[in-house]
Structure 1
Amino acid sequence: MEASPARRPHRLDPAGGCPHAVNARLLARGAVTPVELPGGIEGMAVLGHAALKEFLQHPEVAKNQRHFTALREGRIAAGWPLLTFATVQGMTTADGDDHRRLRSLAGRAFTPRRVEELRPRIERLVAELLDGLERAAEAGGGVADLRRHLALPLPMSVISELLGVDVEFRDRLHHLSSVVVATDTGPADAVAANRELVAVLGEIVAAKAARPGGDLTSALIAARDEGGDRLSHQELIGTLLLMIVAGHETTLNLITNAVRALCAHPGQLDLVRAGRASWADVVEETLRWDSPVSYFPFRYPVRDITVDGTLIPAGTPVLAGYSAAGRDPAAHGADAGRFDVTRPARPGSVRHLSLGHGTHYCLGAPLARLEATVALERLFTRFPGLGLGVPEAGLTPHAGFVGNSVHALPVLLRR
């Protein structure tokens, strides 16, 4: 297929905002579009569902930073807000044998069977957090921030317990990770946050090395200390960083977005209560309709490739446009913009790509789904009259163009 002519790049707003109106305009131009990243760096975004599915499993596309032309040529400053996505040493920036090695070291903790064994603990934790949410609402005139009191502490607690991270570190880790993944962080703040995050993770590793336990961090330390090529210290730190960030930020957005969607579409909630859809259906439709991640960095073609008629030059940093693909009319029909928990998957097609596709499919997908389904079922069972505590228009979008959610979700609790 002949490549389409170049289009004027879309400048991604580092401050972020709700992505859906912009996505619709970009999709109308094509499934693949040039974008301008912070600092004037040229990139591309793959937005269409079919194009993104093809791109995510393309044999000539890599994740390792050595394929990032602008970085290799020294055109990326030290405080570039997206630098960590490109340079962290872990499974999300590894290819081939290195990717398989790193993924296998952590993968045993996230099998469907191992995750299901966590269900009783997740159920107890949700019950405790709902108690706290109710206390916060009583102190706040009936309104409490669901994001702060449920959507954040649930996945942060679960991933921390899996990794053996003590409670004293968790607030700092969340704050630092949110700064690191934000696209509007200033250069000095970005450098400082990355240094502090690595230092905190170093503290955790040192403590675990002195007092190992049955957690995943202790297992990774053992793999590092065995010698050979199983795991370097930089890969250990990078793996912990990736698992902490991905292990709570995406599920935090998923739960927030699902509650927001159900509050805005009470008829869909009625379908679940009537047994015409399940809480799992709510999670999958939320992943499609309001993906927790909007534009995920980065993949790089190792040679010039053409996707859906558009040339993507070798070495270009490419964003996976999950939120755009979720509402692509070509894949989901003319009503792709409608939240519908009874929406069937099209024959021969995946329902959404929000957890990735191919060899880099999200390792924590079973855990994220379990946490979200338990949280939603218990929340709406305990508070069947739950609604937004402010008008929808009063919700502030999440900062940055990588994550997709709102900054806070005030809810009115009614039993």
Structure 2
Amino acid sequence: MDSAWTDTPAACPVAHGGDPAPPASYRLDPLGRDRHGENERLRAIGPLVAVELPGGVRAWAVTRYRTLQTVLTDPRVSKDIRHWAAWNRGEVPGEWPLTAIVAVRAMTTADGAGHRRLRGLVSQAFTPRRIEALRPRIVSLAHDLLDRMAQLPPEPVDLREVFAYPLPLDVICELIGLPASLRHRLHALTHALVRVSDTPESAAARREGLDRMLGELIALRRREPGDDLTSALIAARAADPDGHGDGERLSEQELFGTVLLMFIAGHETMLNLITNTVRALFAHPAARASAMRGELPWSAVVEETLRWDSPVAHFPLRYATEDLEIDGVTLRQGDAILASYMAAGRDPAEYGERAARFDPAAAAPRHLSLGHGPHFCLGAPLARLQAEIALAALFERFPALTPAVPLADLTPMPTVVTNSTERLPVLLGEPAV
């Protein structure tokens, strides 16, 4: 086993500043019960910390802003699973729940020319003109949901279920061409991908179901092409009947992987972002009042939430393609790396005394929650647009919106990958006319 993972202090790498790194891996809590507290402890240990994911999978968590910025742009760090030494040695459990994310063939797991090819094919769905053209549709979807919510009885409802979930679901499904009849099934299957507590049998069954589900979508769009991303990708695939994925063409694996990851990125993270922003405003009534009066732009609220309570906790995985040293920590060729966006978002070295404080009225901070460098989130403009429309419409329609339970009692999602709560019970109050 690599010396970086041994349990004897003498064999451990040296952290920034000459302090010895911890003698054993830090086990991340698979239930996410104290994410910000855990991230604070990780930052205190060092800029890169040896952690253990559920299933005994080991990686380096990048805990500080500047270090993560470096890792996200370092050409010696790859997203291609073929560089992962533990994977190549057969040490990753065969039904590890996160395999579907790290082993998928798509632009999120490609580098260099392959990444540019895949990103170029997908980018046609995310041009500024096309994103802005979606604004009226997003506004309409949001108000339709709010109209239905206004008819609900005056009792607690789960805002995550009745608003934060269906809005981005409808938007991304229309973008990728998924019919309404398949939407909730696909969400249930992809939502399970970010959980790490599944049994091997459950993980395998869900992946098989996901393959069938995506197969149905692709078969449908082959028969009935439309003005959507899946149809456009199928057209690119059709240009390469042998399935080699050469030049500007797309292999069958890449077609499946790209549609899958567009759905996860376009829905799961948006669901968390809307939920987390509402929670933040519940906890900070002065910021909420300022935004509702129009004194504080909703865009500022969204950006501060992205920094302060990122919808992604630890995103897997990147790999060292050679031995390298970053901020005094030595990584060996083939080591796996986690991008710890939540930890970087509250790094005092970058944000000073503001780091742990939610302050959307302050100067807009830089953050890494939408990525950085070649893999910066292609859908970032759409994510921002959706969140701003959703929040403005929600608080305009329900100005007396309040939490139905203490915020401290909310149950976090049981995963190390994404960050939010499983439910957000609220009292809507009287809707505005």
TM range (shorter): over 0.9
Equivalences for residues 380-391 of structure 1 within 5 A: 380-391=395-406
Quote the Cα distance in structure 1 between the aligned partners of 2:315 and 2:429. 37
Q: TM-score, normalised by structure 2?
A: 0.92
Tell me, what secondary structure is at the counterpart of 1:298?
strand
Return the match for 1:257 from 268, 276, 281.
Answer: 276
Q: CA deviation digits over 1:358-381, x for unaligned, max 9?
A: 000011111110000000001011
Return the match for 1:89 from 105, 109, 113.
Answer: 105
Unaligned runs of 5+ in 2: 1-12
Structure 1 equivalent of residue 336 of structure 2: 317
Structure 2 equivalent of residue 110 of structure 1: 126
Q: CA deviation digits over 1:103-125, x for unaligned, max 9?
A: 11111111222111100000000
Structure 1 equivalent of residue 142 of structure 2: 126
Structure 2 equivalent of residue 239 of structure 1: 258
Q: Does 1:43 align with 2:62?
A: no
Quote the Cα distance in structure 1 between the aligned partners of 2:294 and 2:193. 41
Q: CA deviation digits over 1:28-85, x for unaligned, max 9?
A: 1212111012222221100101110111001100000100111111111221112112
For residue 102 of structure 1, what is the amino acid of its counterpart? L
What's the C-alpha RMSD, in Å, of the aligned pairs? Answer: 1.3
Q: TM-score, normalised by structure 1?
A: 0.95
Equivalences for residues 199-348 of structure 1 within 5 A: 199-227=212-240, 229=246, 230-345=249-364
Q: CA deviation digits over 1:233-252, x for unaligned, max 9?
A: 11100001100111100000
Tell me, what secondary structure is at the counterpart of 1:334?
helix
Tell me, what secondary structure is at the counterpart of 2:55?
helix
Quote the Cα distance in structure 1 between the aligned partners of 2:363 and 2:323. 36
Quote the Cα distance in structure 1 between the aligned partners of 2:275 and 2:155. 18
Between the two structures, name the one with larger relative contact order (CA 8 Å, sep ≥ 6): 1
Is the 1:295–1:401 contact (alpha carbons within 8 Å) kept by the matching residues of 2? yes
Return the match for 1:392 from 385, 401, 407.
Answer: 407
Give the drift of 1:198.
Answer: 1.0
Quote the Cα distance in structure 2 between the aligned partners of 1:270 and 1:261. 12
Is the 1:133–1:144 contact (alpha carbons within 8 Å) kept by the matching residues of 2? no
Quote the Cα distance in structure 1 between the aligned partners of 2:34 and 2:396. 29
Quote the Cα distance in structure 1 between the aligned partners of 2:84 and 2:148. 46
Q: How many residues align?
A: 407
Give the drift of 1:207.
Answer: 1.0
Structure 1 equivalent of residue 205 of structure 2: 192
Quote the Cα distance in structure 2 between the aligned partners of 1:185 and 1:320. 22
Quote the Cα distance in structure 1 between the aligned partners of 2:320 and 2:203. 27
Tell me, what secondary structure is at the counterpart of 1:175?
helix
Tell me, what secondary structure is at the counterpart of 2:322?
coil
Quote the Cα distance in structure 1 between the aligned partners of 2:309 and 2:361. 16
Identity %: 52
Quote the Cα distance in structure 2 between the aligned partners of 1:249 and 1:196. 18
Quote the Cα distance in structure 2 between the aligned partners of 1:345 and 1:386. 26
Quote the Cα distance in structure 2 between the aligned partners of 1:146 and 1:274. 22
Tell me, what secondary structure is at the counterpart of 2:29?
coil
Q: CA deviation digits over 1:86-139, x for unaligned, max 9?
A: 210100000111101111111111122211110000000000111222334x1x
Quote the Cα distance in structure 1 between the aligned partners of 2:57 and 2:64. 22
Is the 1:17–1:401 contact (alpha carbons within 8 Å) kept by the matching residues of 2? no
Unaligned runs of 5+ in 1: none
